Amino acid sequence: MSKDKTIVLALTGASGMPYSIRLMEKVLESGARLYLIYSAVAQIVIRQEMELSLPSRASEAEDYFVERFKTQPGQFRVFGREEWFSPVTSGSNPPDAMVVCPCTMGSLAAFAAGMSQNIIERAVDVVLKEKKKLVIVPRETPFSIIHLENMLKLARAGAVILPANPGFYQHPQSVGDLVDYVVARILDHLDIAQDISPRWGEGEA
């Protein structure tokens, strides 16, 4: 059941923040527990793309999203970049799954190298070593050989590489439809039920 799940969502400084916010909404609607962590550059990008000022103080960001999504008590937490005692940093308390959406190529490289110089890198390291589900949503084009080699390395370590590439067979009518396509694929890999985007062979062709 989704209500028993703990999901970590990490935002890094790539384009694609609408995917992240929609994913937050649907994970919380499922009843799962959600932990949010984000980089300083993610704050800049989300302001540019969504006109959303994400506070540097984790407690302020937590209050904002709790009010926005009307979460249940204890369902949603935000951890600051220096909160090394947060549950996301220890293999003794791993989440069920983690999503990095959107994922920069710099973050991707750090993950592939096994670095743990910030809370996002450490959380990824924990999820990989504890063999939990890791979904990485890279947002870059084109990919260089270095990018592809880093993705291959992470895929071999067990990560799901899920680029933010929307499909068009569902006849999207809005940007929101394209966002939902990618978010639906992420939810599928988190084993969270979703009906926000039609599957192949369902509905009108």
Q: Where are the domains of the chain?
A: 2-189
- How many whole angstroms separate alpha carbon 122 and alpha carbon 52? 26
Predicted TM-score of the model (pTM): 0.95
Residue 3: pLDDT band with limits 50, 70, 90: low
C-beta of residue 37 within 8 angstroms of C-beta of residue 120: yes
Across 142-161, average pLDDT: 98
Mean pLDDT of 179-204: 91
Query: What's the angle, vertex CA 79, arms to CA 77 and CA 83, rounded to 5?
Result: 140
> Which CATH code of 3.10.20.600, 3.40.50.1950, 3.90.79.10, 3.30.420.40 fits the domain covering 2-189?
3.40.50.1950
- For 86-130, the pLDDT digits (tens) are 999 999 999 999 999 999 999 999 999 999 999 999 999 999 999
User: pLDDT value at position 2?
Assistant: 65
> Using CA atoms, how far apart are residues 168 and 116, in angstroms rounded to an integer?
38
Q: Which pLDDT belongs to residue 198? A: 87
Tell me what percent of the residues of the chain surpass a pLDDT of 90.
93
Torsion angle of C-alpha atoms 9, 171, 140, 95, degrees rounded to 10: 20
